[in-house]
């Protein structure tokens, strides 16, 4: 393979693992390091620790060919020219990003250095982290000319991570000198010159999209801000449509039509205008908080972000009240909950609105029978089965004898349920859909009372109109 670069990726989580196999896929030699020995053992045996489309095939294709896994960080660093740091940057106590994992890794890298290397921030980090990484390297005795620090934020989404990585809207390289920018250009060349997309063994689906990915070189500070600002803006778009959905509901308008009408304006675009339970996941909540904090540290009151967060939190309360409005009391009621992951096509339950709702329902005395196609193992680990919580094998088992069915995550299979069968399984034919997966009129035709987000309630005469409760 021409112009292959030796790359070390530190962290084999949702980002690091995907980056590692994708770098191998575009022709580089990759060592992926993690300090979680069990994960490394699993990966070396061909196991995949996360649920992600295409990942098992990609791993099988490149394991011990383009990519190897180890817990020996020094080995990874000493055999690589570019070191991608992809460890977690969770929300800290003040809302700021907790950078202790990044700092720990940088200190270890410093002690393993054996020649010039480029350290790449793949993790999402606040502006000026590049300066802190440099300072940390110098404090640990590394000479200034021996390293550079580049910000190369990652924009992949879980569920479509491999496709997003290999066919990104853009690649951002925040470098403060040409030498380090050039190495990143070489690494991403197969995507930015489009040669990857013409390869016969490229990931299916990529071949039809020959457009090379745009590679944008900026300063490190700008790149760091691009990542935070992008996530905050997408979160804002979601909160905006959720706020509009609440108005739509009051005036009997339909948020799906409103979003479609807005999205047809090319300046607005149709994406990220799906109203629902609010955004969750390991990125938006923490990145909105971190970006607010970053601005605050520079004396700027970015109040808009605080509103984005509040609207998001409110969205869950509104849905919870919808459940109460449909069922009257909750204590002792059986509720079927479809979905536990923070969105469809992933097993990730971090900051999952679905899981938060299950907790709230249990606290209110309801009995919940939950089902998720991929996230049950992770959910069970933090919410074990109890008198009030059970996990079902499928959606219909969850629905058996339930007073209502709640759709909490947008898994595709939840939008294709056999409605006749569902009707038979439920004690009362009530569906409360936090993801707008069905058309209200269709649900009424099938005999359901159907409540969704930002659309008029659809109900059968027998069930009667549900009460609308206002969030206190
Ligand atoms: P993750 O928690 O899934 O993975 C982090 C990995 O780093 C874990 O496997 C952990 O064991 C490992 N690790 C921690 N300390 C280590 C050390 N000292 N040495 C070696 N390995 C170590 O996290 P993630 O979801 O992959 O996110 C990583 C970063 O990427 C975060 O900054 C996140 O904000 C950002 N990001 C995430 C996504 C996403 O969709 N998850 C998308 C874009 C950016
Ligand atoms: C996000 C960013 O999209 C990605 O660029 C970044 O790299 C990581 O964070 P991810 O968290 O994997 O990706 O999922 P995403 O598809 O963005 O969804 C985030 C949350 O927003 C989910 O809870 C989802 O259900 C919600 N969402 C998304 C909506 O409520 N409405 C929408 O229209 C889109």
What would the DSSP string read from start to end of 64-131?
A: TTTEEEES-HHHHHHT-SEEEE-----B-TTSSB--HHHHHHHHHHHHH--S-EEEEE-S---TTHHH
Given this chain, do its domains 228-310 and 315-451 carry the same CATH topology? no
CA angle 215, 221, 223 (to 5 degrees): 25
Lining ligand 1 with CB less than 6 A are: 10-16, 33-36, 39, 73, 86-89, 101, 104-105, 123-124, 154, 156, 158, 282-283
* % of the chain at pLDDT higher than 90: 92
**In this structure, how many other beta carbons lie within 10 angstroms of the beta carbon of residue 41?**
12
Instruction: Give the distance (Å) from ligand 1 centre to CA of residue 284.
Output: 15
Cα separation of 283 and 88, whole Å?
Answer: 10
Three-state secondary structure string covering 121-159: ECCCCCCCHHHHHHHHHHHCCCCHHHEEEEECCCCCCCC
The secondary structure of residue 458, as a DSSP letter, is B
Quote the strand ranges of 193-348, DSSP E. 214-218, 334-338
Looking at the CA of residue 15, tell me the nearest atom of ligand 1: 26
DSSP per-residue codes, 160-185: SHHHHHHS-SEEEEEESSHHHHHHHH
Q: Which of 105-119, 203-217, 221-235 has the lowest mean pLDDT?
A: 203-217
Counting every residue, how long is the chain? 472
Average pLDDT score over the chain: 95
Instruction: Give the distance (Å) from ligand 1 centre to CA of residue 188.
Output: 21
Homologous superfamily, domain 315-451: NAD(P)-binding Rossmann-like Domain (3.40.50.720)
Reported confidence tier of residue 460, pLDDT bands at 50, 70, 90:
confident
Q: Is the CB of 284 under 6 A from ligand 2?
A: yes
State the pLDDT at residue 304.
Answer: 98
CA angle 65, 68, 71 (to 5 degrees): 170
* Residue whose tokens read 């106590």: 93
pLDDT at 470 over 80: no
Name the residue with the closest Cα to ligand 2, atom 13. Answer: 157
End-to-end CA distance of the chain: 62
Reported confidence tier of residue 259, pLDDT bands at 50, 70, 90:
very high
Per the CB < 8 A criterion, the answer to whether 196 and 209 are in contact is no
Reported confidence tier of residue 93, pLDDT bands at 50, 70, 90:
confident
Instruction: Give the distance (Å) from ligand 2 centre to CA of residue 346.
Output: 11
Cα separation of 468 and 466, whole Å?
Answer: 6
State the pLDDT at residue 155.
Answer: 98
Per the CB < 8 A criterion, the answer to whether 405 and 323 are in contact is no
State the pLDDT at residue 457.
Answer: 85
Q: Are strands 82-85 and 404-407 parallel, antiparallel or unpaired?
A: unpaired
State the pLDDT at residue 1.
Answer: 43
State the pLDDT at residue 472.
Answer: 45
Chain centroid, CA 192 distance in Å: 25
Residues 210-232 have a mean pLDDT of 95
Please give the order of strands across the beta sheet that includes 117-121: 67-70, 29-33, 6-10, 82-85, 117-121, 147-151, 170-175, 214-218
3-state secondary structure of 29: strand
Cα separation of 410 and 192, whole Å?
Answer: 33
Give per-residue pLDDT as tens, 424-448.
Answer: 999 999 999 999 999 999 999 999 9
Instruction: Give the distance (Å) from ligand 1 centre to CA of residue 241.
Output: 30
Cα separation of 415 and 137, whole Å?
Answer: 51
Looking at the CA of residue 280, tell me the nearest atom of ligand 2: 23
pLDDT at 312 over 60: yes
pLDDT at 349 over 80: yes
> Is 136 annotated in the active site?
no
Q: Which of 22, 32, 136, 283 is catalytic?
A: 283
Instruction: Give the distance (Å) from ligand 1 centre to CA of residue 65.
Output: 23
Reported confidence tier of residue 70, pLDDT bands at 50, 70, 90:
very high
- What are the sequence ranges of the domains in the chain? 6-218, 228-310, 315-451
Looking at the DSSP bridge assignments, the partners of residue 173 are 217
From residue 185, how far is each of 123, 179, 182, 319 by CA, in Å? 19, 10, 5, 47
Quickly name the fold that domain 6-218 has.
Rossmann fold (3.40.50)
Instruction: Give the distance (Å) from ligand 1 centre to CA of residue 152.
Output: 14
Looking at the CA of residue 276, tell me the nearest atom of ligand 2: 30
Mutate which of 229, 230, 242, 276 for ligand 2 pocket (most atoms within 8 A of beta carbon): 276
DSSP per-residue codes, 331-372: TT-EEEEE--SSSTT----TT-HHHHHHHHHHHTT-EEEEE-
Mutate which of 8, 9, 10, 16 for ligand 1 pocket (most atoms within 8 A of beta carbon): 16
Cα separation of 334 and 344, whole Å?
Answer: 24
The answer to whether domain 228-310 has CATH 3.40.50.720 is no
**pTM given for the model:** 0.96
Instruction: Give the distance (Å) from ligand 1 centre to CA of residue 209.
Output: 29
Looking at the CA of residue 158, tell me the nearest atom of ligand 1: 40
Looking at the CA of residue 160, tell me the nearest atom of ligand 2: 12
Name the residue with the closest Cα to ligand 1, atom 32. Answer: 123
Reported confidence tier of residue 207, pLDDT bands at 50, 70, 90:
low
Name the residue with the closest Cα to ligand 2, atom 20. Answer: 279
In this structure, what token pair is assigned to residue 412? 């595709």
Per the CB < 8 A criterion, the answer to whether 471 and 314 are in contact is yes
3-state secondary structure of 397: helix
Ligand lying closest to the C-alpha of residue 151: 1
Per the CB < 8 A criterion, the answer to whether 33 and 53 are in contact is no
Cα separation of 463 and 423, whole Å?
Answer: 13
Ligand lying closest to the C-alpha of residue 339: 2
Cα separation of 461 and 463, whole Å?
Answer: 6
Largest CA distance in the chain: 78
Ligand lying closest to the C-alpha of residue 87: 1
Give per-residue pLDDT as tens, 131-151.
Answer: 999 999 999 999 999 999 999
Looking at the CA of residue 36, tell me the nearest atom of ligand 1: 11
């Amino acid at each position: 393979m021409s112009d292959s670069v030796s790359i070390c990726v530190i962290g084999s989580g949702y980002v690091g693992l995907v980056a590692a196999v994708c770098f191998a896929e575009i022709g580089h030699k990759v060592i992926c390091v993690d300090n979680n020995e069990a994960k490394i053992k699993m990966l070396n045996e061909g196991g995949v620790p996360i649920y992600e489309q295409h990942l098992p095939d990609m791993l099988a294709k490149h394991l011990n060919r383009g990519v190897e896994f180890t817990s020996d960080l020094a080995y990874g660093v000493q055999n690589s020219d570019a070191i991608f740091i992809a460890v977690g940057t969770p929300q800290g106590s003040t809302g700021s990003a907790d950078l202790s994992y990044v700092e720990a890794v940088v200190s270890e890298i410093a002690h393993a250095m054996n020649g010039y290397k480029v350290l790449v921030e793949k993790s999402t980090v606040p502006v000026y982290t590049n300066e802190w990484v440099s300072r940390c390297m110098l404090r640990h005795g590394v000479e200034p000319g021996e390293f550079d620090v580049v910000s190369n934020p990652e924009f992949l989404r879980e569920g479509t991570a491999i496709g997003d990585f290999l066919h990104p809207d853009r690649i951002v390289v925040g470098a403060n000198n040409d030498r380090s920018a050039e190495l990143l250009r070489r690494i991403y060349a197969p995507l930015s010159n489009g040669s990857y997309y013409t390869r016969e063994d490229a990931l299916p689906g990529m071949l039809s999209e020959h457009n090379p990915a745009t590679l944008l070189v900026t300063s490190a500070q700008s790149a760091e801000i691009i990542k935070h600002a992008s996530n905050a803006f997408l979160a804002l778009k979601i909160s905006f449509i959720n706020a509009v959905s609440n108005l739509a509901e009051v005036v009997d308008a339909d948020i799906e039509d409103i979003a479609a009408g807005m999205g047809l304006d090319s300046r607005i675009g149709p994406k990220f205008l799906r109203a629902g339970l609010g955004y969750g996941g390991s990125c938006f909540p923490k990145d909105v908080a971190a970006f607010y904090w970053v601005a605050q540290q520079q004396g700027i009151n970015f109040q808009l972000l605080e509103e984005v967060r509040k609207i998001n939190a409110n969205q869950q309360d509104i849905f919870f009240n919808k459940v109460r409005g449909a069922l009257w009391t909750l204590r002792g009621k059986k509720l079927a909950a479809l979905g536990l992951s923070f969105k469809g096509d992933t097993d990730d339950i971090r900051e999952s609105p679905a899981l938060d709702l299950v907790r709230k329902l249990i606290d209110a005395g309801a009995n919940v029978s939950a089902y998720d196609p991929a996230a049950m193992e992770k959910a069970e680990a933090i919410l074990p089965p109890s008198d009030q919580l059970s996990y079902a094998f499928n959606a219909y088992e969850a629905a058996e004898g339930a007073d209502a069915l709640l759709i909490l995550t947008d898994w595709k299979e939840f939008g294709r349920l056999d409605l006749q069968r569902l009707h038979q399984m439920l004690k009362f034919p009530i569906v409360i859909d936090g993801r707008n997966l069905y058309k209200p009129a269709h649900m009424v035709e099938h005999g359901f009372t159907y409540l969704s987000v930002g659309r008029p309630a659809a109900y059968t005469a027998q069930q009667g109109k549900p009460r609308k409760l206002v969030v206190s």
